[in-house]
Amino acid sequence: MNAHTISLPPNTRMRNGVLMRSVRVNEDGVSRLTRRPVALTLKDAQESGADFYSHEFGWIRGGLKMEREHPLVDAGLLKEVFDDDDDDEDDDSDPE
């Protein structure tokens, strides 16, 4: 890998010019797909509220808090998915 190559975070893809990741959330018996923007640096994530992937800590939601500390993760109700569906019908890009 040369010095100018950027390694993209796992399970991310470009959607309308924005790097995104998909998370499946199961709350109140309802499963929904949430697409979240992804930043390539922690500083950019903190400034924009996007998610950031750290090889040491995993996903940092909104550039502020480790995803593994999210209460839905503990309950087994939140999981990362790779979504190839271009249908934005259930897109809920909540920056929580």
Instruction: Note the maximum CA span of the chain.
Output: 47
Q: Give residue 8's pLDDT band: very low, low, confident or very high (50, 70, 90).
A: confident
Res 54: pLDDT: 92
Asked if residue 19 has pLDDT above 80, the reply is: yes
Res 45: pLDDT: 95
Can you give the C-alpha Rg of the chain in angstroms? 13
pTM: predicted TM-score of the whole model, two decimal places: 0.71
Kindly report the backbone phi and psi dihedral angles of residue 2, in degrees, each rounded to the nearest multiple of 5, phi listed first: -85, 170
SS3 letters across 20-56: EEEEEEEECCEEEEEEEEECCCHHHHHHHCCEEEECC
Place of tokens 């909540």: 94
Most confident region among 7-16, 21-30, 84-93 by mean pLDDT: 7-16
Based on DSSP, count helices (H) and strands (E) in the chain, helices before strands. Answer: 2, 7
**pLDDT tens sequence across 35-93:** 999 999 999 999 999 999 998 999 999 999 888 887 767 666 667 676 555 444 444 44
By DSSP bridging, strand 30-37 and strand 12-15 are unpaired
